[in-house]
Structure 1
Amino acid sequence: MTDSSVQGFKTVLHPVSDLAKAKGVYAALLGMAPQADSPYYVGFDVAGQQIGLVPGGGPQGLTSPVAYLHVPDMEAKLAEVTAAGATVKEAPHDVGGGRRVATVTDLDGNVLGLIQDA
């Protein structure tokens, strides 16, 4: 049975140890400043998707899922994100149909994915 009120994944939370440094990496990755910026939560609203940073995993003690961001230029985004402190984990490669994927790790070892469609 399908619940018609389900709208899909709207929030992805990432635990971070240094909120200020992590905010710089995520701002570079997403190409925007955060919409919510407090000592206990930094949130970015990307086309209706909420990407949140929580120091120490927040009260839930979260671990990071891999969230994939669609980008128009993989190399440019990788250059921007690595300049902000991220590290390439998986180099860009074709997975079929002209779609390319790559992953990077942020300053805390959270894995972030990038997708570029043909």
Structure 2
Amino acid sequence: MSEGLKTITYPVKDLARAKALFGALLGVEPYADETYYVGFRAPGQPEVGLDPNGHAKGLTGPVPYWYVGDIRAILADLVGAGAEVVQDVQDVGGGTLIASVKDADGNAVGLVQEAP
């Protein structure tokens, strides 16, 4: 079961320009500012992430990340419902797990399981 949509990640080619654009849009500085990911947290909004490697991973648009309690079970359910795995479960640090799939129309759906 999903805990809700909490993050939207955009694949970007020019990280500096994207960072300036989303900083202006959200009115906040990034809380994470790395070469591989820039993240913004604005009050009342889902986290906005910028992924400079997203296009190389085959992403063509934003990826909504749904937070779930059991990422492997939900991933299996989504595959059973016809989704195709784009990124299998991966630990991105501190025990936080992510994965992504695409639906029959090619829409990306991301999953996150926060560290216990």
What TM-score does the superposition give when structure 1 sets the normalisation length? Answer: 0.47
